[in-house]
Structure 1
Amino acid sequence: MSNLDVKPAATVCGGREDVSAAPVRELLTGRTVPLGESTRVRRLLPNLGRRMIGAWCFVDHYGPDDIATEPGMQVPPHPHIGLQTVSWLHGGEVLHRDSLGSKQTVRPRELGLMTAGRAIAHSEESPRDHARYLHGAQLWVALPEASRNTAPSFEHHARLPEVTGAGGLHATVILGELDTAASPGTIHSPLVGADLTLASGTAARLPLEPDFEYAALAMSGETLVDGVSVTPGSLLYLGAGRRELPLLAESDSSLMLLGGEPFAEKIVMFWNFVGRSHDDIVQARADWNEGSRFGEVHGYDGARLLAPALPPTPLKPRGRAR
C-alpha cells in the first residue's frame, strides 16, 4: 500500500483543536491518482479540507476495475514507518509480501493488517491468475507515540465478526468494535472500521460512540447518510457527538464506516512515512534509499521504489484540518 506520487507534498495533521464536538455533514470528493502500472485510485484522505478521522490518516478507494486483460495492481517494494496498513477488498485478490517473510493472498471481506512500527517494507500485486474485477480500499492508521516504534508485524484474518440489523443492514467489523462485536485485528488507539451492506430501501439507525468522530466512505450504490447522498468517490465526514447514524439505501449499496477518538498527537506524513518531526522523515528516507533498517522483500518481479526528494523547507506538524 503506497503513495506513488513522485513529488509528494508533506502532510501535517493531528491534534484535537479542529474536531467538531457536534455532528456535521461535510461531503468530501477524492482526486484520482495512479497506483502502480495500471491501477488508478480515488484518494479521499488526506483531503484539502480534512486530514484525519480518529487515527485513520489515509484512504484510497479503487474500482470496480475490469482487469481481465490487465496486470491489475502492481506496487513494487516500498517502506513504511509509524502506521498500520489495512487492505480491504470487495472484489479480486491482492498478494502481499513483506520484509518479515510474510506471503499472503488477501481476498474479499478478509482483513490484511500490517503494522509497520519502527520499519517494514512490502509489495502488493494482483496474482498472475486473477479475477476479472478489482475493487477495494486501502487505508492507513497512524500509530500513537507509545506504539510507533513497536516491532513490525502482519496479520491475516479470514473470518471477521458480523452484525445484522433490522430491515436489511449487514455489517462486518474490520477493526475495533461495533454494537458489541469486536474484530480480532490489533489496534493501538480507540477506533472502528466496518463494512456496511444495505439492500435497496433499507432504513436503519447504526449505534455510534459519541466520543468518536466518524466518516462514511461509499463503496458502491447510493445511500442517504444522515440525509446526505453518498456515492462512490465521496466520503462524508460526520464529526463527533453522535449516538446513532440514520441510513437509507437508495439502491443496493455498501459503505465503509471509519471512526475513532480524535487523534491528539500531531504527526508528519511524507510519502509512505508517518513521523513526528522532520528528522524522523529524513532518517527514514535515508535508511530506505541506502538499503538499511527496513529489510528486503523477496519474490516480487521488479525493482523496489526509491524515496522521492524532500521538499526544500523543513516539515512541521500542525493541525488536522486545513
Structure 2
Amino acid sequence: MDIPELAFLTTWIAASVRLTGPLLLASIGELISERAGVLNVGIEGTVLLGALAAYLGAIWSGSPWIGALAAAGMGMLVNVFLAWMYVVVKASQVVVGIIFNVLAMGIASYAFRTIMGDIPRIQTAPMMPEISVPGLKDLPLIGPALFGQSVMFYITILIALGTGWLMYRTRLGLNLRAVGEYPKAAAAAGINVVRMRIIAVLACGLGGGLAGAYFVLVQIGLFRDTIVQGRGFIALGIVILARWNPYLAILAAFGFASMDALALSLQLFDLPIPTQALVALPYLLTVLAVSGVFGRSRNPAALMTPYHADR
C-alpha cells in the first residue's frame, strides 16, 4: 500500500472513531425514548444546551468531569419540560420538538454572548484525558483509532453496551419496551406508562447532554452556537438504521461518522469534488435511512401515540 493511501486510511479511521462518540450518545438517548413510544425531536436542542453547559462548567471549575456533569444535568433538566409536554400535556411531539430546537438555539446563543461578552479572549475548556493502551496503540491502521482515544469514548461504548443489556436483560427494559409497543396492555399488567415514558425522555436528555459535552470536551474545547450542525437529527436516522437496537446503533453511528470524516480525510488528495458535496454525505445518508432505502424497519407500535388512561 502506498504511503498516501495508508495515511488516508489511518486518518479516516481515526477521525471516524473520534466523530462516532457524540452521535452514539445522542442516538442511544433517542433510542431509549422511542422505545418507550416518545419521538424526541428536541434532541438537537438538548445536545446544543448540553454543549454550552459543558463548556461553562469546565472553564469555571477547571475540570472536564464537572463540565460533563453539568452537561448531563442540563440535558435532563430541559427534558423535564419536554417530558411534560410530550407525556402529560400530550402535545404533538414533532411540533414541540421543532419549536424547542429553535428556542434552544436562541437561548444558547444569547446566554453564551451575555456570559462571555466581557471576556477579551475566549478560553479553551480543559479536555478529557486520553487513554493509550500499550502495544495495541502501535497496531497499523486501527491502533491509534481504537486504543488511543479519549476516556469519554470508552465510556460511551460502555453506555451503549449497558443500554443493550438493560433493554433486553432486565425487567426495567422489558417494561420500557412494553409501554412503547402496547401501553394499554402494559398498564393492565401494573406498569405505570406515564412514569416509564417520562423516565425514557429524561434518559434521552442525559444522552443528549453528554453528546454536547463530547463535542466540547473531546473534540474542539470551545463552544459556538453552530457546534451541533444537525447531528441531533442525524441521531434520529441512526436509530432507524439500527432498528432501535443499541448494539446495532454502535455500527450505525460509526457508519454515519465515517461519512462525516470522509470530507476531512479526502483533503489529502487533490480530487475534483466540491467540499460541500462531501460535507453533505452524512445528511444524505440520514435522508436515505429515514426513507427506508436500507430496508423497511418496524418502529415501536405506539411511537408518537399519546397514552390516555381513560380511553
Instruction: Report which of the two has the higher share of strand.
Output: 1
* TM-score tier (shorter): under 0.3
Q: What's the TM-score once normalised by structure 2's chain length?
A: 0.24
Larger radius of gyration: 2
Instruction: Report which of the two has the higher share of helix.
Output: 2
Q: Report which structure shows greater RCO (CA 8 Å, sep ≥6).
A: 2
